[in-house]
Amino acid sequence: MSARCSVGKSGLASSANGCSNKSAVYCTPLGGTASRFGSGAGRRDSREETRGDRLDGDGPASARLWLGGVVGAQRDSALITALLQKVKACALCRPLLLCVDGLSAYIGAIQATFRTPVRTGQAGRPHRRPWDNLCIAQVIKQYAQKRVVGIKRRLVQGTAAQIEMLLQQTQRGGQVNVAFIERLNATFRAYISALVRRGRALARQTETLHLAMYLIGTVYNFCTYHKSLRVAIYLPGNQRRWARRTPAIAAGITNHLWTIEELLCFQVPLPPWRPPKRRGRPSTSSKSLIARWCS
């Protein structure tokens, strides 16, 4: 199983543009499980047709599932590392392609994060071994008079053959790009008033933007049909019907479109209780509690 991940930012320009000085970094997966990552995908209008988005049930299918993000006062190494920790927690040590923009801090943060400690039984800090088959690609946009006049694609780690194979498996070919994560940024900007360019709403607290990001991301996953996720149902008489799906349906998390009321009223089960670690043998009362709540 291979994967592709685009890491991008939703940088809020400045208060002069009507936006607060905060940045949010998002990550989204590609595929049916959390161990497969893909480029970020935003919600598309039902009238919009994008090249390569029609799925007839053949070839690799994208779940477009949004996993999460991090929010900070500015896009720095700490913010990027926090995001990459989320990506690492959901990924497996398998072929992985990370596509980033021209910010140099991404490269060092990726190489420092995607390492596995090798335990040897000796005292001291264990050696951290880099992940195998980790590919890093940069998409650097060149601007002139506030317009993109050129795009430079740079291979930082891995081989061209590995990247071509991963692109073919995850998005059926194409070039390295960050267009999907930028489209996701546009989705968040459209729904969160504090992210609208030249708007009057300000996010004065980071926690406010953090909660809004996860609310909109959950609505995007469960309550919004994604046109690129529809699958064809072939009927007799050479007829065809489309079955619409949300990212959660495509990922196998649910089997229907959720309403906003159903989403907000859903009761998340509490995590299982873990007994505190104490020295000595557990008492009889502790054993009874463990047998009741931890079985």
Count of domains forming the chain: 1
Domain membership of residue 57 (yes or no) is yes
Domain membership of residue 291 (yes or no) is no
Residue 247 exposure: Cα atoms within 13 Å on the Cβ side: 25
Domain membership of residue 196 (yes or no) is yes
Domain membership of residue 284 (yes or no) is no
Nearest Cα residue to 26 out of 172, 223, 259, 195: 195
pLDDT, one tens digit for every residue, the chain (295 residues): 445 555 554 332 222 222 333 344 554 433 322 222 333 333 333 323 222 233 333 333 467 888 888 888 888 888 999 999 988 888 887 888 888 888 888 999 999 999 888 888 888 888 888 888 889 999 988 889 889 888 888 888 888 888 888 888 877 778 888 888 888 888 898 888 888 877 787 777 888 889 999 999 999 999 999 888 888 999 888 888 999 999 999 989 999 999 999 999 998 888 877 777 888 888 888 888 888 877 6
- The CA–CA distances, whole Å, from 263 to 45, 178, 194, 230, 236 equal 22, 30, 23, 22, 37
Say what the pTM is. Answer: 0.70
Domain ranges, residue 56? 3-262
Domain membership of residue 105 (yes or no) is yes
